[in-house]
Amino acid sequence: MSGSPPPTGGFVRRIGLFQATAINMSQMCGIGPFVTIPLMVTAFGGPQAVIGFVAGAVLALADGLIWAELGASLPGSGGSYVYLRQAFQYRSGRLMPFLFVWTAMLFIPLIMSTGVVGFVQYLGYLAPHMSDTTGDLVGLGMIALVVLLLWRGIENIARLTAVMWAVMIASVALVIVAAATDFSPHRAFTYPAHAFELTGSHFWLGFAAGLTIGIYDYLGYNTTAYMGAEIKNPGRNLPRSIIYSIVGIMAIYLLLQIGTLGVIDWKRMTDPGDIASTSVASAVLEETWGKGAADVVTVLILVTAFASVFTGLLGGSRVPYDAARERVFFRPYATLHAKHRFPTLGLATMGVITAVGFLIGRHTDLATLIQLLTTVMVLVQALAQIAAVTVLRKRQPTLRRPYKMWLYPLPSLVALVGWLVIYGYADKNSPGRHPIEWSLAWLALGCVAFVVWARLEKVWPFGPHEVREEYVENPVADEVSA
């Protein structure tokens, strides 16, 4: 057995625990909660909407423990690609990692596009007479700027991310503090009749929609797992960055949700003509500290939205790189920038798809867009990774596991139920849009693409069945501080 670690493909381990946690939290708490609080209230039909954020936190933590074990054991660039490649190679060759990259090239930039939609939505508070065309151009310009800033070395990006993390903390803290200065418990905790009636379908439809919105707001806790080849001491820092970021964001979201409901009447959030339905945080600041303070915090929220798109494309652009380097995706995606060592084509492609998704999202319903991207993600990533933890424990018992899931297999079972609820209720919460059918169609198209690709590359099922347990043969050891 060789003592050298698996190759990182030219990446350098320069990101420490604080920077890794900041990257995750910046991606998680972008524009998401500021635009989805009204969506959550609408889904539940009242201030009991806080249930959605609690449920989302439980699912995020359960799923985060899965990412923590896999990321610590298999700290390579690409995240899920590495995990699925290792777990499912024994029976289906490269099918599962290929399908993951196929879907990730769609759902990751779609998530980023919702952040850009939210950016333009809050910009509308500062520029209420902004036309749709101007909004489209601003969003496209923002995406171009993100790609330009990412076109540099990771050490510069890590420092920039820490600054944006501080701005994110400041923006949410100011909204929470402002809400606390004029908080009304009666407004926050007075529920409509039958709000908790569990026997009817209304509550459970609202719960499923709220869980979908909630987990969307927490997405990003896995960003550093995509950058496993660039994390210092990955066996320790990867799990900690995931768990710390989920717990931190959970506290922020609950304070933000409850505080907002204590200032703004929930019925205003469901009125499309009210500013609280599109820029609820700005409405809170205007209600408590006045228009000037609302303008300042809105600017900070815009920076936070920018940071979430920035960190999302930073991690997501690494996904196709490792797959291409291992001949599981189109080979040009294996090229790194000669000087700064980042995947050029992956970043450019996801930037373009983000732009297309933004234009689509600007002129459709944001909640439906969230349903569509979530259903695509559930099948090939979420459910497959739950299985991957168990498969790897059985297939690779000697794999070095610096972190093992707490209370295994309970978190896997909780995550399984949560993801199945989200997927099963997708069509009911998006009538006429058929997100389940679209996700199955995209998966089927991916299978066809795999067959064509496998034939051209002469790999299984048209070539030899290769099995490589490189992380067993060459474990990645954490650096030990002197």
The answer to whether the Cα torsion of 246, 249, 250, 251 is positive or negative is positive
Average pLDDT over residues 325-337: 79
Q: What is the dihedral of CA 411, 44, 114, 77, to 10 degrees?
A: 0
Structure tokens at 150: 């990412």
Beta bridge mates, 227: 77
Model confidence at 366: pLDDT above 80: no
Model confidence at 8: pLDDT above 90: no
CA dist., res. 13 & res. 318, Å (int): 14
| pLDDT reported for residue 335 | 81
Q: How high is the mean pLDDT of the chain?
A: 86
CA dist., res. 239 & res. 255, Å (int): 25
Q: Give pLDDT tens digits for 463-475.
A: 888 888 888 877 7
Non-local CB neighbours of 22 within 8 Å, separated by 6+ positions? 161, 162, 165
Structure tokens at 343: 């995947």
CA distance to 179, 237, 264, 331, 414, per residue, from 248 (Å): 19, 16, 24, 39, 21
Provide the pLDDT confidence category of residue 278 given band limits of 50, 70 and 90: confident
Non-local CB neighbours of 193 within 8 Å, separated by 6+ positions? none
Give the predicted TM-score (pTM) of the model: 0.84
Whether 37 and 260 have beta carbons less than 8 Å apart is answered as yes
Whether 457 and 386 have beta carbons less than 8 Å apart is answered as no
Model confidence at 6: pLDDT above 60: no
The phi and psi torsions of 407 (rounded to 5 degrees) equal 60, 30
Model confidence at 481: pLDDT above 70: no
The rounded percent of the chain whose pLDDT value lies above 90 is 39
Q: Over the range 69-79, which residues count as b (16 or more CB within 10 Å of their CB) and which as e? A: bbbbbbbbbbb
> Can you give the chain as a three-state secondary structure string?
CCCCCCCCCCCCCCECHHHHHHHHHHHHCCCHHHHHHHHHHHHHCCHHHHHHHHHHHHHHHHHHHHHHHHHHHCCCECCHHHHHHHHHHHHHCCHHHHHHHHHHHHHHHHHHHHHHHHHHHHHHHHCCCCCHHHHHHHHHHHHHHHHHHHCCCHHHHHHHHHHHHHHHHHHHHHHHHHHHHCCCHHHHHCCCCCCCCCCCHHHHHHHHHHHHHHHHHHCCCCHHHHEHHHECCHHHHHHHHHHHHHHHHHHHHHHHHHHHHCCCCHHHHCCCCCHHHCCHHHHHHHHHCCHHHHHHHHHHHHHHHHHHHHHHHHHHCCHHHHHHHCCCCCHHHHCECCCCCCEHHHHHHHHHHHHHHHHHHHCCCHHHHHHHHHHHHHHHHHHHHHHHHHHHHHHCCCCCCCCCCCCCCHHHHHHHHHHHHHHHCHHHHCCCCCHHHHHHHHHHHHHHHHHHHHHHHCCCCCCCCCCCCHHHHCCCCCCCCC
- Give the highest mean pLDDT range of 26-40, 275-289, 362-376: 275-289
Average pLDDT over residues 42-70: 93
| pLDDT reported for residue 2 | 40
Using only C-alpha atoms, what is the Rg of the chain? 22
Q: Give pLDDT tens digits for 12-30.
A: 788 899 889 988 887 787 7
> Which has the closest alpha carbon to 319: 168, 107, 169?
107
- Higher-pLDDT residue of 321 and 261 is 261
Average pLDDT over residues 54-68: 95
Q: Give pLDDT tens digits for 135-188.
A: 999 999 999 999 988 886 555 666 666 777 788 788 889 999 999 999 999 999
Residue type at 121 in one-letter notation: Q
Crossing angle (nearest 10°) for helices 132-150 and 154-181 = 130
| pLDDT reported for residue 1 | 39
| pLDDT reported for residue 220 | 84
Q: Which of 81-95, 105-119, 423-437 has the lowest mean pLDDT?
A: 423-437
The answer to whether the bond into 272 is cis (omega within 30° of 0) is no
The answer to whether the bond into 431 is cis (omega within 30° of 0) is no
Whether 341 and 154 have beta carbons less than 8 Å apart is answered as yes
| pLDDT reported for residue 479 | 53
How many other C-beta atoms can be found within 10 angstroms of the C-beta atom of residue 211? 26
Q: What is the dihedral of CA 173, 108, 21, 382, to 10 degrees?
A: 110
Provide the pLDDT confidence category of residue 482 given band limits of 50, 70 and 90: very low
